[in-house]
């Protein structure tokens, strides 16, 4: 195919609860030009729990990017015309990883996971009137199983490798988009 006129392209990594997509858009028309999508496997080890393997997520992202890059020349597009990459993600999906090895210390705990409901109840019991909005003036968030700080508390309390990594100052924590960007921008990977 003849090469299209050069125009800045915008790419998006869409890391959803059930699918991963990599999409390239025209910055002028906002039209989707090329994309690739893969499914991700959700694990539910107990009722109310929802996890995904972070390495599977990263692998799916890399596969989607590779497939789109392969398709671009046939569409008259050049990867060098991508001027920005955005990341959308699963809200409060939380994960911890080893900053030296890059390996996850546990599966990603999804935004919809409610394993921390007991922790939330324990926190609420210590607040005046069990007020779930007690911290809203301070941080803008209610006490809820949804938010990543409470998931981190669960990981610290229940996963020995997380406690060990914290004590050795090797533990990194973030929502899934943080881990994706951390992995895709590392320069020490060769």
CA separation for the pair 94, 130 (Å, rounded):
25
**In terms of Cα–Cα distance, which of 96, 103, 89, 77 is closest to 10?**
77
User: Is the pTM above the cut of 0.95?
Assistant: no
Could you read off the pLDDT of 140-153 as tens digits, one per residue? 989 999 989 999 99
pLDDT tens, position by position, 106-153:
999 999 999 999 999 999 999 999 999 999 999 898 999 998 999 999
- Poorest-pLDDT segment among 75-84, 139-148, 180-189: 180-189
Confidence of residue 5 (pLDDT cuts 50, 70, 90): low
Largest CA distance in the chain: 68
Q: Please identify, in words, the CATH class of the domain defined by 9-184.
A: alpha beta
pLDDT band at 93 (very low <50, low <70, confident <90, very high): very high
40-63, pLDDT tens digit by residue?
999 999 999 999 999 999 999 999
- pLDDT the model gives residue 151: 96
Report which of 112, 140, 131, 120 is spatially closest to residue 51, judged by C-alpha positions. Answer: 112
Cβ–Cβ contacts within 10 Å for residue 142, how many? 15
- Residue 6 has a pLDDT of 81
pLDDT at 144: 93
């Amino acid at each position: 195919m003849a090469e299209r006129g050069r125009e800045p392209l915008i790419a998006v990594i869409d890391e959803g609860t059930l699918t991963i997509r990599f999409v390239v858009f025209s910055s002028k028309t906002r039209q989707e030009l090329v994309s690739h999508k893969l499914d991700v496997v959700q694990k539910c080890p107990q009722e109310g729990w929802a996890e995904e393997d972070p390495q599977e997520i990263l692998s799916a992202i890399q596969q989607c990017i590779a497939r789109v890059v392969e398709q671009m020349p046939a569409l008259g597009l050049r990867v060098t015309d991508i001027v920005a990459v955005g990341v959308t993600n699963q809200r409060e999906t939380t994960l911890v990883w080893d900053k030296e090895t890059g390996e996850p210390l546990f599966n990603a705990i999804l935004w919809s996971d409610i394993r921390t409901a007991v922790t939330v109840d324990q926190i609420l019991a210590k607040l005046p009137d069990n007020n779930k909005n007690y911290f809203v003036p301070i941080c803008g968030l209610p006490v809820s199983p949804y938010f990543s700080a409470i998931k981190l508390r669960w990981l610290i309390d229940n996963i020995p490798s997380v406690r060990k990594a914290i004590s050795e100052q090797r533990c990194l924590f973030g929502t899934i988009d943080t881990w994706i960007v951390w992995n895709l921008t590392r320069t020490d990977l060769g």
